[in-house]
Chains A and B, each alone.
Chain A
Amino acid sequence: MIAHKDLVPLGRVGDSPQETFVLNLGPQHPAAHGVLRVLLTMDGEWIQRAEPIIGYIHRMHEKMGENRTWAKFLPNTSRIDYLSAMHYTHAFVGAVERAAKIEVPLRAEYARVITSELNRISSHMVWWGALLLDLGGFTPILYAFDDREKILDLLEALCGARLTYCYYRFGGLYNDVDDAFLKGTRDFVAHLRPRLKMYRDLVTDNIILRKRLTGIGPISADLCRRYGATGPVIRGAGVAYDVRRAEPYSVYPKLDFKIPTYSEADSMARYLVRMDEMEESLHIIEQALDQIPTGPFLGKVPRVLKLPVGDTCYAVEAARGRFMVRIVSDGKEIPYRVKLRTPSFSNLSLYEEASKGMILPDALAMMGSLDLVIPDIDR
C-alpha cells in the first residue's frame, strides 16, 4: 500500500514566494459535469488551494423525507444520483425492509441484481464518455452512448423509466421480469463483451490517454479512509473495499465475482478499476440470469406501513461507491429522519488536499477520474 506522503504530485513547486491569483471555475463549466464550482488559488500554473463550493442544486431531499410516507419518498431516492438510480432505490427499499422485517422473494432479489448491474454498466459508460470528452477525445462518448442506449431500452421496457428508475418496491418489484427482458439482457451481454475489447484497443491502450492519466492525481488508501472516499476511488488505491462483499446484501453472496483493484492510486488506476468492473458486472448478470428462479416477485407487505421505533442503516455499492440510507422511525407512517450518505460527497471532499500542487488540466483529469455526479453531492 502506498502512503500518502510518498505520492508527491508531479508539478509541485517548492515554497517559493510567488504572487498568487484567484481563478473561479464553474458553477457553469463543462468539466464540472453540472453545477459544481471550484475556487482556485493559483501559483502560476500550479494549484495552491482548490476549494469546492457546492449546494447549487441542493433540493433538501432529507426534509422531503420527513413529510411524506415511506413509500412516497421512494421516487426521491432515484433522483439523487440520476445515473445510478437502481442502487439508490435499492438502499432505501432495503433499509425499510430491514426495519420492518419484510421478506423479499428470491426472484425479486435476482432481478434486483440484474438491473443493478446493468445500471452500473450504463453509469460507467457515461463516466467513460464524459472523461474522454474532458481529455479532448470526442468520439468515445458516441460509442458509449450507443451501447448504453441498449441498457436504457431494456430497463425502460421493464419499468417505464429510462433514467430515474423506481422499479424496486418494499418487498420486491413493481412488476415481474418478463422473458423478453431476460433474453434481451442475455443478448446484450453477448453484444457488450467484444465492444469492451474494442474500448480497450481503441482507448484504454491509447498512448495519449495513458500519458494524461498515469501518475496523475494520486489518492492514497489512507487519504480515502480519512475522507471516507469509497468505490472505484478506494479500489484504485489498492483496497478491495466493496459493499457487496463488506456488508453483503441481496443475493450477492451467492454470486462469484472479483473486486478489481489497482495499487497505483492514480487516475489511470481508477480508470482501469471501472473498466474491469463493467466486465465483472457482465459476469454477475450472466450468473444471475442462469440462477433466477420462477415464483412471486412481490412479498407480503402491510397496506399501512409503520416501522418499529429505532434507527436502521442499509448500504449498497452504487456506481460511485458506498451509498447508505440511515432511517430513524418513531413508529409513525412518516419517517422521523432520513439521512442519505452519498459517495460523491465524500469522494469530492478530499479534492482540496489531493489537488494541491497540481497543474489545472491535470486536476481536471483527476476530477474526471472521481466520477462526480453533482446532485449526488448536493442532494
Chain B
Amino acid sequence: MNPTLEQLTEHFKGLTAAAAVPADGPAESVSPTPVLVVVQAVDFALKGFHLDVAVGPAQVVAAAEVADRAGFGIDSITGVDWLAQNEMEVVYDFFHPTSPLRVVVRARVPRGSPELPTIGGVFPGANWHERETHDFFGIRFTGNPNLKPFLLPEDATFHPLLKDYKP
C-alpha cells in the first residue's frame, strides 16, 4: 500500500475537519481553537522532502497516525528555537520504506510553555527522539514516560540549543 502524494495531501487536510468536529470523547480533550492544517507540496530537488504539513500542537498525534497508516517510518524529531517570534518549532520527519516519499510535519508551541503530546504511542521509536529534543530545547512531550536527561549528563538542568542559552 504505497500512498500517492495526492492521497496523502487529502489525508493530512482531513485533520482540520477532524479537529473541528470531535468524533468521540469529551469536548475538553480537543484544542479549544482548532488550528488549520496547512499542507504544501514542495519540490524535492530543492528541499529534500515532498510534503510540508503544518499542524497545531494538539494535532501531532493525529498527524502521526496518518503517517503510520500510510506506511511511513519515523525518521527524526527535532526542535528549532525561534527566539524572535517567541515560539519553538517541533519538526517531525517521516520516510517511507517502500515508496520514494518524504513528509515533514511541524508544530509551533509558545516558548514560555513548550508542551505537546507524545507520539510514542504511534511510533515507539519517537521516544528517544523526544527525549533528545527535551534535552536540547526543554520541550515537554506529555505522556513520554522517560523525559530524563538522555545525551546530556544525568544531572543536567540546562537546554543547550536554546538561542538564549549561556554556558
Question: Which residues of A come within 8 Å of B, CB atoms?
Answer: 54-55, 58, 60, 62-63, 66, 95, 98, 101, 221, 224-230, 234, 239, 241, 245-247, 310-315, 322, 324, 326, 328, 336-337, 339, 341, 345-346, 349-350, 353, 378-379
Closest Cβ of chain B: how far from A173's Cβ, in Å? Answer: 22
B151 close to A350 (CB less than 8 A): no
B97 touches A58 (CB 8 A): no
On whether A322 and B75 interact (CB within 8 A), knowing A54-B150, A239-B97, A350-B125, the answer reads yes
Chain B residues, CB < 8 A from A313? 47-49, 93, 102, 104
B19 lies within 8 A of chain A by Cβ: no
Given that A247-B102, A336-B80 are contacting pairs, would A221 and B75 also be in contact in the complex, using a CB cutoff of 8 Å?
no
CB-CB < 8 A to B49: which residues of A?
313
Chain A proximity of B41: nearest CB distance (Å)? 15
CB distance from A232 to the nearest CB of B (A): 14
Segment 44-103 of B: residues with Cβ below 8 Å from A: 44-49, 68, 71-76, 78, 80-81, 91, 93, 95-98, 100, 102
- Interface members, chain B 14-61 (any A CB < 8 Å): 44-49
- Is there an interface contact between B73 and A246, defined as CB atoms closer than 8 Å? no
B124: chain A residues within 8 A (beta carbon): 226-227, 350, 353
- A228 to B76 CA separation, bound complex (whole angstroms): 8
CA distance A346 to B93 in the complex (A): 13
Chain A neighbourhood of B95, CB < 8 A: 228, 230, 246, 315, 322
Q: List 22 A-B contacts (CB under 8 A).
A: A54-B150, A58-B151, A62-B136, A63-B160, A225-B71, A225-B97, A226-B123, A227-B73, A228-B125, A239-B97, A239-B98, A246-B100, A247-B44, A247-B48, A310-B47, A314-B48, A315-B48, A315-B95, A337-B80, A337-B81, A349-B125, A350-B125
Taking A60-B160, A225-B72 as known contacts, 13 extra A-B pairs with beta carbons closer than 8 A to each other, sorted by chain A number, are A98-B47, A221-B97, A226-B73, A226-B123, A226-B125, A227-B123, A239-B97, A241-B98, A310-B47, A314-B48, A315-B95, A345-B128, A378-B151
Task: Check B5 for interface membership: any CB of A closer than 8 A.
Answer: no
Contacts of A310 in B (CB 8 A): 47
Give 6 nearest A-B pairs by CB, closest first.
A313-B48, A227-B125, A225-B73, A341-B76, A55-B151, A228-B74
**B46–A326 CB distance below 8 A:** no
Q: Which residues of B contact A336 (CB under 8 A)?
A: 80
Residues of B within 8 A of A229 (CB): 125
Tell me the bound Cα distance from A328 to B151 in angstroms: 22
Q: What is the interface of chain A mostly: helix, strand, loop, or mixed?
A: mixed
> Among A63, A239, A315, which residue has its beta carbon within 8 angstroms of that of B161?
A63
B118 at the interface (CB under 8 A from A): no
- Inter-chain CB contacts under 8 Å: number: 114
A170 to B166, CA, bound (A): 31
B119: min CB distance to chain A, Å: 11
B4 to chain A, nearest CB (A): 16
Q: Are A349 and B128 in contact (CB under 8 A)?
A: yes
Instruction: Tell me, in angstroms, the Cα distance from A312 to B48 when the chains sit together.
Output: 6
Chain A nearest CB: distance from B50 CB in Å? 10
Contacting pair A227 B74 (CB below 8 A): yes
If A246-B95, A313-B102, A346-B125 touch, whether A228 touches B75 (CB-CB below 8 Å) is: yes
Q: Within 8 Å CB of A353, what residues of B? A: 124
Closest Cβ of chain A to B163, distance in Å, is 8
Q: How far is the CB of B157 from chain A (nearest CB, A)?
A: 15
Which residue of A54, A98, A311, A336 has the most chain B CB atoms within 10 A of its CB atom? A311
